[in-house]
Amino acid sequence: MDFSLTSLWAAMGPFARGIVVTLLFMSLVSLVVAFERVVAFVTAGGLSRRFAETLAKQLADGDVAKVAAESKPGGGYLGAVLHAGLKAFHTAPDEREVKVESVARALERQATRELQTLKRGLSVLATVGSTAPFVGLLGTVMGIVNSFESMAKTNSGGLGAVSAGIAEALVTTAFGLLVAIPAVVAFNFLSQWVEARAVDIAESSNELLDHVSRSLAKPR
């Protein structure tokens, strides 16, 4: 028997073909999600860096009140988080402790929202990476069962009688691994990127809080 992919596909039963189609769909979904997240992360990273650089220049003179009054929603995750803090500073009552606490809570709330947005779709990659091997294994188990059933019906034995069926079955396991490995790699890479951005957000938030504290400490 020819063990090329086309020959194996032609020899596959409906169940095995269903497994292969399912794995193809899972692979396509994981690739789309990974590509979308990479594009979103690159775009958000660029916007966040530009916003942070601009805000740092504006805060260089220490006039946080003026910057807060003129603040507009910025791009990227840092733009959203820092703008929320500046907005809280502008709208909070003129009491030092109240302002600082309001800014801190606003930064924390928005940071949580932004991190959840950055994590969007990563659960899909995790699901594909963890389930694809088992989906492939299911096809393998059923393929081997069918091979032994055929051997029993024809009263034939030996490896040659079941080699084609076993080869067909093992293809699904191999395909499941081929789908899972890129999904796991993409999930780990993107998760580490999000964790690094969480550190950036925390550091930037703390820097803004330092500016707020110094600004409120100045005699008026």
Task: Give a three-class secondary structure readout of 80-117.
Answer: HHHHHHHHHHHHCCCCHHHHHHHHHHHHHHHHHHHHHH
What pLDDT score was predicted for residue 142? Answer: 79
pLDDT at 6: 67
Query: Model-level pTM?
Result: 0.82
pLDDT at 189: 95
Which has more confidence, 129 or 214? Answer: 129
* Residue with the larger pLDDT of the pair 104 and 219: 104
CA 156 vs CA 150, 163, 165: distances in Å: 9, 12, 14
- pLDDT value for 28: 96
Write phi, then psi, for 140 (nearest 5 degrees). Answer: -65, -45
- What does the domain layout of the chain look like in residue ranges? 5-217
Average pLDDT over residues 1-20: 68
pLDDT digits (tens, 9 = 90+) for 110-130: 999 999 999 999 999 999 999
pLDDT at res. 156: 59
The long-range contacts involving 159-165, CB below 8 angstroms and separated by at least 24 positions, are: 163/1, 164/1, 164/3, 164/11
Q: How does the average pLDDT of the chain come out, rounded?
A: 84
Instruction: Name residue 127's amino acid.
Output: T
| pLDDT, tens digit, 9 for 90 and up, residues 41-79 | 999 999 999 988 888 888 887 678 888 888 887 778 999
Selected residue with higher pLDDT from 60 and 185: 185
Q: Which tokens in the block code for residue 55?
A: 């805000």
Give 100: exposed, middle or buried? Use CB within 10 Å, 0-12, 13-18, 19+. middle
Region of poorest pLDDT, from 98-112, 143-157, 197-211: 143-157
Give the DSSP letter string of 71-82: ----SHHHHHHH
| Report for 62-71, 169-178, 181-190: range of highest mean pLDDT | 181-190
| pLDDT value at residue 7 | 61
Taking a C-beta distance cutoff of 8 angstroms, is the pair 24, 5 a contact?
no
